[in-house]
Amino acid sequence: MNLIELKSKKGLDIPIKGEAPKTTRDIVESITQVAIVPDSFPNSLLKPVAKAGEKVKAGQIVLYDKKNEQVKFTSPVSGVVKEIRRGEKRRIIAYVIEKDGSDNHNEFKLSATQDRSEIISTLLESGLWTAIRQRPFGIVAEPEKIPDAIYITASDTAPLAPDYTYMLDSEKEAFEEGIKILKALSPKVNITVKNSDKEFFKNFDANIISVKGPHPAGNLSFILQKTNPINKTNVVWYIMPWHVVFIGRIALTGRIDFTKTVALTGPAVQNHGYYKIISGAAIDKIEPTVKDGSLRYISGDVLTGLNVGPDGFIGFYHDQVTIIKEGRYFEFMGWALPGFKKYSPSGMFFSKLLYSKKKKFDFDTNLHGGTRPFVIPHLSERYVNLDIYPSNLIKAIMINDIDQMEKLGIYEVMPEDFALMEYACISKINIQEVVNRGIETMIKES
């Protein structure tokens, strides 16, 4: 086992209220519906295999990705396909399965001693292959590729990120087993962890890469740039800690079990804390939701999460739910006021002089200004911790110059790496959307 320690200087920990205290409520029994949310899987096109009204077993294939037909999605529970919720252009926004309480399930054989190809095919059939993603581009891994390494990403530094040492404490056995399976896929398995979590993860048979510093220190792009730079010809795979546990459970019990813990965070939450749920559960099971549009329900964190609405479901790659107020209000001459109560990292508001660094603030979804031409990037670029020239790359994407995008490092980035820049952008440009567009272009081109 090796230990690599990384430090990131650039970045920002946004002082948002609503951290989850370390108490877990088990609400698995109360969950009647789970859903697969296609928006969780960028650059995919999900098509149903099982139609609405069909009975399905736990572990039965219900959807597949039309862009990569090997990639399949399975039902986490035994039940009935309740509803295929569609949005604009008949795009699926949620594939809802209602639990029937029975124990019908598919059996899988998975062990670290199997062939690599056998393991891969079991993971594909069990739907768990979707847990393994690849860089560049953050899409579900292509099974025929050989990755340089597999990264288990337990270094979430996003605002109000859940504590993995707390969540995984009771799942060590399955986690360990999952690592064994991953090692059969690639001998190099690394766990990325926050510096303070090193001790916990040292117990497992994998390399540790620890990060220190403000968000986005824990982002995989930063870690890869330091430990395994990505370009056109090489790939790495990555997987989230809970999914390692899921894989471990298949090996241990022969069946899928998507039970996991998520953190309920954010300034507009009533019952902060950790909740034991089934992956894909509805948000209103962990917190009563209001439907008057006054609150925003986010699967994930405030910088990169998905706005799923009060009747939405928790995404596959999210271990956190954040609730904040919607900011639909006018503010009279707001831009000219001294701003004693307005948190801003910029130094343009007096709050900077008044509060200690430990003070936490309420945040809402107001844009705080109108969209403007992209000027003064130095005010926001300072929150990107990668060795790239962010605004040059963004401009290359805006003008769709593929050659420049390649040269300026499109293979090394994900939209999440620009989330803080987007937060601080005075021109209010949706930078993550631009980066995602660049990535989509690259996928199409390759």
Partner 1 sequence: MNSLKKWINNLYEKTEKGKPLHFLRSSVEALDTFLFVPDKVTSKGAHIRDYADLKRTMTVVVIALIPAMVFGWYNTGYQHFLATGENFTTGQALWYGFLKFLPLLIVSYGVGGIIEVIFAQLRNEEVNEGYLVTGLLIPMIMPVDVPLWMLAIGVAFAVIFAKEVFGGTGMNVFNPALVARAFLFFAYPTWMSGSKVWISGLTDGKGIVDGFSGATILGQLGEGGHSAIVNGLGHPVSAMDMFLGLIPGSIGETSTLAILIGAAILLITGVGSWRVMLSVFAGGYLMALLFNIIGGNPLMEFPAWQHLLVGGFAFGAVFMATDPVTMAQTNKGKFIYGFLIGMFAILIRVLNPAYPEGMMLSILLMNMFAPLIDYTIVQNHIKKRMKRWSLNNQNN
Q: Hey, which residues between 220 and 279 contact partner 1 (CB under 8 A)?
A: 228-229, 231, 233-234
Q: Specify whether the CB–CB gap between 409 and 393 falls below 8 A.
A: yes
Choose between 251 and 420: whose C-beta lies nearer to partner 1: 420
Beta-carbon count within 10 A of 371 CB? 11
Q: How far is CA 364 from CA 30, 258, 327, 339, 370, in A?
A: 30, 32, 5, 16, 16
Judged by CB under 8 A, the chain residues 119 through 178 that form the site for partner 1 are 148
- Select from 343, 402, 440, 443 the one that contacts partner 1 (CB under 8 A): 343
- Select from 30, 117, 170, 346 the one that contacts partner 1 (CB under 8 A): 346
DSSP alpha helices (H): ranges in 68-170? 116-126, 164-168
Judged by CB under 8 A, the chain residues 293 through 312 that form the site for partner 1 are 296, 298, 302-305, 307
Q: What is the H or E stretch that residue 63 is in?
A: strand 61-65
CA-CA distance, 441 to 446, in Å (whole number)? 9
Residue 415 interacts with partner 1 (CB under 8 A)? yes
Residues that contact partner 1, how many (by CB under 8 A): 75
Least distance CB 303 / partner 1 (angstroms): 5
Choose between 141 and 236: whose C-beta lies nearer to partner 1: 236
CA-CA distance, 20 to 320, in Å (whole number)? 10
Rg (CA), the chain: 21
Residue 344 interacts with partner 1 (CB under 8 A)? yes
Least distance CB 20 / partner 1 (angstroms): 18
Judged by CB under 8 A, the chain residues 364 through 403 that form the site for partner 1 are 364-370, 372-379, 387-389, 391-392
Least distance CB 405 / partner 1 (angstroms): 11
Least distance CB 33 / partner 1 (angstroms): 25
CA-CA distance, 364 to 323, in Å (whole number)? 9
Residue 29, burial from CB neighbour count under 10 angstroms (0-12, 13-18, 19+): exposed
CA-CA distance, 128 to 58, in Å (whole number)? 12
Residue 87 interacts with partner 1 (CB under 8 A)? no
Judged by CB under 8 A, the chain residues 46 through 75 that form the site for partner 1 are none
Choose between 101 and 373: whose C-beta lies nearer to partner 1: 373
Choose between 212 and 428: whose C-beta lies nearer to partner 1: 428
Residue 289 interacts with partner 1 (CB under 8 A)? no
What is the biggest distance separating any 2 CA atoms in the chain, rounded to whole angstroms? 67
